[in-house]
Chain A
Amino acid sequence: MNWNELEIRLSVAEDYLSVRHGLQEFKTRFANGKSRDIDVNPIELVLAEILNNIAEHGDHASLPEKICLKWALHKNRFSAEISDAGVAYSPLEKIRAAKKHKDTSFDNLPEGGFGWHIISALCSDIHYRRHGNINILKLQIPV
């Protein structure tokens, strides 16, 4: 199995522009490397949510300098591993919390928390572990 690798360098807290550039580079390399027609949109969406989440949840002191994205394309699924040295997070708790919010009345309409909804809906597997001071998130997306 051939794994591809990309590093996204974060220079400031909430460096979403670097994430956007990283996603662009990922899409270019993914398009060049794939041997069949695959819809990259769900993949970009999931990666955007995870990478932005990492960029968002680090203050100046705990901001990870870089996010490492590895990916591989299999017969019917896309695999990715995203690692960073930022603050620990808990994807499964976030997904549970996102699914709990069902009140869509105008006054209680949420303006956030959609990201984990999207991730859980598009991924078939999500595994997270903290190894030392490194977050490692592995996921699979059916293609």
Chain B
Amino acid sequence: MEITPDIINNTLILKILATRIDAASAVQFKDLMRSTTDGYSGRVVLDLELVEFIDSSGLGAIVSAYKALVPRNRMDICSTGEVVNTVFRLTRMDSIFAIYEDVEHALNEGELI
């Protein structure tokens, strides 16, 4: 797993280069998120375009990364697939995170999916 950071319009876009965020990779994901966002103050968008599967441990790792941000920093999500949407919906985490269709919609803060 890798995370590639990009800053566009004062937003830190983090593209997750992995097909799974699951129990086997949750710790690595949290560590990578911590090192990538350490000290950053501003909005963060997680680009999950490549993530085909996420389980509850992966979701917990995302929540943990969100809580570890500088207080009051926003974290939004974009480019989610079917499984990711299902997990966020069933756990009601879609009411915590704004989920956008893609990076462009996230940057424009357009309509949520």
Contacts and interface: CB of A to CB of B under 8 A. Distances in A.
Interface of A: 14, 16-17, 19-20, 41-42, 44-45, 48-49, 52, 55-56, 104, 106, 109-115, 117-118, 121-122
A45 B22 contact: no
Contact of B56 (A41, A49, A55, A109): A49
Given A45-B83, A104-B92, A122-B90, A114 B60 contact: yes
A8 to B, nearest CB: 13
Nearest to A102: B92
B83 A111 contact: no
A117 B60 contact: no
B55 A49 contact: yes
Contacts of B82: 41
Nearest first, the 8 closest Cβ-Cβ pairs linking A and B are A114-B56, A115-B56, A16-B24, A16-B23, A52-B23, A121-B90, A111-B60, A114-B91
A19 B87 contact: no
A19 B55 CA distance: 12
Interface residues of B, number: 25
B92 A109 contact: no
Interface in B7-47: 20, 22-24
A110 B57 contact: no
B63 A118 contact: no
8 contacts: A14-B23, A19-B23, A45-B53, A48-B53, A52-B56, A55-B23, A111-B61, A118-B91
Interface string B41-69: 00000000000010111011101101100
Contact of B23 (A48, A111, A113, A118): A48
Given A114-B59, A118-B91, 18 more contacts: A19-B24, A20-B22, A20-B24, A41-B83, A42-B86, A45-B53, A45-B87, A52-B22, A52-B56, A104-B95, A109-B67, A110-B63, A111-B60, A111-B63, A111-B67, A115-B55, A117-B56, A118-B87
